[in-house]
Structure 1
Amino acid sequence: MMSSGLGAVLEKSFAMKIAICFFGITRSLRHTFESISSNVLKPCRDVGDTENFCHFFQLGDINNPRSGERGELDRNEYKLLSPDWLQLDEPDQCLENYPIDRIFHYGDYWGDDFKSLRNLLHQLHSIKTVTQAVQSHDFDLVIFARPDLLYHDSIRRPLLRVVQSRNENEVCVPDWQHWEGGLNDRFAICKGADAIHAYGCRVDEALSYCEEYDAPLHAEKLLKFALDKMRIPISTMTTKASRVRFDGTMKEEVFWSGSRRLERLRRLFSQYCPPMNSSQGVELTAKASNDARALN
């Protein structure tokens, strides 16, 4: 028998309107859709009335030397998501909307001739586009989800927790891979108009981030910067998901969370490894972060 507390939450939540936003490219949706259906779409439908919003870039093929992906893409793969709202754009044109020369002036974090930075700006534009579509409606919750992720766990529990939260605005993000003090930007649950805007339109803060820190644009740190700027409460969820490549290969992820484990690793490192000077430490940290993190 369902507890009265949970029953009240569910009864209340059935009146909620939930937008599920997909963005970017659908390179592996045929491999990830089953997990999306079970662990993202169904939990949302169990909690309220849902609509699917999709913005994708139309690519005929993929050729990414860094990820090893190369082949022809299915332009109709997005139909698996049964979008209620859909916009398809050609790539590159969106970059004209942003001060990319000024952003590029602050450097290339990934060191690959700005290819990853351009990919990041495309992704951020896609998120903004689908967010603006959502903002013309009155949704209580917005789920942002990459379609190329295989979701290992259901978002049901964090979804109900956000529903119960007394915060007018809140963003719930995964509790793993907060690179360099940023926030995981793979998927999120957003509650409240300010939270939805801060998360979804953070590309508008890209240049401000670079100017504030006099540093290259960094995906996870930009997210934290944008949420902090609007003082949005942040919570975390243990839900895990792995990137899936064009050919169905699953990318190995680092599913550890937060600074406590990192501090434990640092203590072990200092205990068993010889000391190094500060420049060596900075170089090693930067290399490890670059090696571990892949945008696409």
Structure 2
Amino acid sequence: MRVLLFLCFLFLWLPVEAQIDSVRLTCLPQKIESLQAPDLLWMYRQRDTLPNHSASGDLNLVIDGQFAKLTDSTSLRYLASLRVDYPALDSIWLPVLRSEVFAFEVQKDSLKHRIGQMGWSMRFLQAVRNLKRQQELKNSGRSQVYLSFHNFNLAADVGLYVRRKYLRISPRYTRMGQEAKQLGMFWGGDFVGFPDPGHVQRFINSADLVSKFPALAFEFEKYRDHYQSIVYRNANRLNKVRDTKALLMTLDSLKVGKVCACQIAIMPKEITTTSDYALVEVNSTQNWVFIKPRQGNGYFYALGRWAFVPKK
């Protein structure tokens, strides 16, 4: 079933891609009559409102002079992700992903059993990986992404052994990948541009994960500029970045209609905002939002909503 869905995705992807390529996502200024605390978290995460995205620490949310309280579980997960430099995403999102993590564990056990029946020795070298380690791997060139399925406990690295000696390169990984795919997993040896024969994962790509669990878009949004730079650098080789482009399309589609901070900073008529903490403050009467990181200056932006507009 998962393979069938993937084939349908490929069949439909090209016309959808062409349609999306004719428009761009932008924050259109407009009067916002009402908004909720989660809207403020999304504006803080918005890539063009902060010089960097280091930890917010204590983050104050204010709507028309009143501190906004977060009560829903999704917003509390967003806040937990924002407050520290390297949030434990596998723990934060486990209540949401529990069924997928469990299903992946079953797949891993089945894969190990199958490989064992072939008389081969196999170990899972690493499954869950913390975010700091993931970014170290990216910066050293040993990974292509800042955010991995490993960070959600939805991927695993496999090691095959002969007489207790680890096989770094071996045709056996191709057979292992075939067995993994028969179990409904996705094999890293099929990756375009950066094949990883010792890797298996639960979802085909990040777009698939975010489509099924839209709340996770919040985590991927942090690295939007990275994804965009990958697509721009490979403008003439889009087959190599199809998954990245699909992720951006998914993120864009989920943002349409949401409240946003319009990119050009403004100077409001009245300024009363001061804070030594990270802050997102909204004045709905004057239709502005003030966004300030833990360290550094804050800026005022006109409120608006995300929308697709034709490219010029």
TM-score by length of 1: 0.26
Larger RCO, structure (CA 8 Å, separation 6 or more): 2
TM-score by length of 2: 0.25
